[in-house]
Structure 1
């Protein structure tokens, strides 16, 4: 527990000032986290970071993460198409040592990280307040799920994927998120009506929990406890960002609809 607390304090001392300042340092930090996240996923599949597929996937990940303010001759969809063609051609060049299944894995891994970290970055470039609101939603969901689950949790939510999660914990997480999201709205009003904000908070809390379950599912599939060891007591980057990788894209969709 001591190691976990020390790591959290150090990480916050680095992360929060860069988050508040934004601009290029924040973009660099986002690129770094996404790159480490890709390394963690590739390692689960036993794809070495120094191989051609890993290097190409990393390069295309960087292209897809470019902010919308950067003009490209190709659209993001065009970039994905080029990536797929290159990777499929590589299966032929490698004489199927790099398989069709591995092409699918690297593609999904790249898109999974791109979607989450891109909208994390875009949200910060648009408004720091939105980022803090979403962080509060995720952290209060985790806290509420933990304490409610321990106090009232009997029925398991999805034991085959995450044995410790309970239905009561999931509901408690949503309630905590609504309470703390509302408090944030009172202290720092967002340009969203309170009733719509509470509705959005419910969906965002659910999205965060689904993101957590998705991470649990692929870690269980590849038989790893944590995605990495970068953060002592916490695991890897994906262990800390799994909920946020779902919350930020869902927030973007909700924001567009509103």
Structure 2
């Protein structure tokens, strides 16, 4: 199927995915938490299949249990009632001890340990920030806060795609993703800034950002989105696959869809806490 023939499928899949995403985010933590567990399961299975092509095993049961654990330790209610406890760091420490203990008892497979830890940080650790963002600074404004990395990531993707096709000449990372160009990267940064200016302008009372702060915000989020995209491209190049899976028709795997968000969600949380 050619790119033009595939375009309607990609558009329909994107619209359906966006509608479901908005519904989940609007519903709040009660729906976000089980959705994140499902994303963890599907993403972990994609990682498992990719790494298996290189003969690398993941400790999938421990990854899933540890991932659910870090989600539970990311629930805002814990930070409201016990703000002095670094809950997410506790979850990471418990996961490390459990991983070490497992390998000591089951063969000391260092490669399995390292890649399982990588998968833990790449998926549930990053996605856990969604739960915190949804309630930052509160349950009402948190929906708008959580929308910022989504708008920035999608705008960066769109801007990089069209600017790269129109003006792309110099390769950005030829060893990892030959199709990406420096011109596309700059186009993504520009479109991300314009999108965030327009978006925050519509609901100015929600976002306490000046134009300079917004420019810095959009620049960092756009760079993080592109870094996330390149990180997943590097992973796919390592595994020797074109797509991480077949999650959405015309869009590849689940990891192909959320790669940018895995980097922009944590960064947004850090920036919002810093700015506000």
- Verify same fold: TM over 0.5: yes
Distance 1:87 1:255, change over 3 A: same
| Superposition misfits of 4+ residues, deviation over 6 angstroms | 71-74
In 2, the alpha carbon distance for the partners of 1:141 and 1:182 equals: 13
The answer as to whether partners of 2:245 and 2:253 remain within 8 angstroms in 1 is: yes
CA contact (8 A) 1:65 1:114 kept: yes
Unpaired segments ≥5 residues, structure 2: 1-5, 137-141
- Is residue 253 of structure 1 aligned with residue 265 of structure 2? no
Distance across 1 between alignment mates of 2:71 and 2:262: 13
- Correspondence 1:95-244 to 2 at 5 A: 95-96=107-108, 99-126=109-136, 127-189=142-204, 190-244=207-261
Number of residue equivalences: 253
CA distance in 1, matches of 2:190, 2:86: 43
Summarize the Cα distance change of 1:75–1:122 in structure 2 as closer, same or farther, 3 Å threshold.
closer
Q: Tell whether the 8 Å contact from 1:227 to 1:235 is kept in structure 2 after alignment.
A: yes
Could you tell me how far apart the structure 2 residues matched to 1:52 and 1:134 are?
A: 29
What is the TM-score with the length of structure 2 in the denominator?
0.84
Deviations 1:159-181 (A, max 9, x none): 10001000000001001111111
Q: Which moved more, 1:80-89 or 1:226-235?
A: 80-89
| 2:66 aligned to which of 41, 54, 60 | 60
Shift of 1:29: 1.2
Contact 2:163–2:183, Cα closer than 8 Å, also in 1: yes
> Per-residue CA shift, 1:140-161, capped at 9, x if unaligned?
1111111111111100000100
TM superposition shift of 1:75 = 4.1
Give the gaps of 5 or more residues in structure 1: none
CA contact (8 A) 1:227 1:237 kept: yes
Supply the RMSD in Å over aligned alpha carbons.
2.2
3-state DSSP class of the match of 1:69?
Answer: helix
Given candidates 24, 31, 55, the residue that maps to 1:18 is 24
Query: Are 1:36 and 2:42 an aligned pair?
Result: yes
Shift of 1:236: 1.7
The answer to whether residue 105 in structure 2 is matched with residue 93 in structure 1 is yes
Structure 2: distance between partners of 1:202 and 1:24: 32
Check conservation: 1:149, 1:168, Cα contact below 8 A.
yes
What is the aligned partner in structure 2 of residue 46 from structure 1?
Answer: 52
User: Which piece of structure 1 moves more, 79-88 or 37-46?
Assistant: 79-88
1:21 Cα deviation after fit: 2.1
Q: What per-residue deviation string (whole Å, max 9, x for no partner) do you get for residues 169-196 of structure 1?
A: 0001001111111111211111222220
The 1:69–1:3 alpha-carbon spacing in structure 2 relative to 1, beyond 3 Å, is: same
CA 1:183–1:58: 2 relative to 1, 3 Å:
same
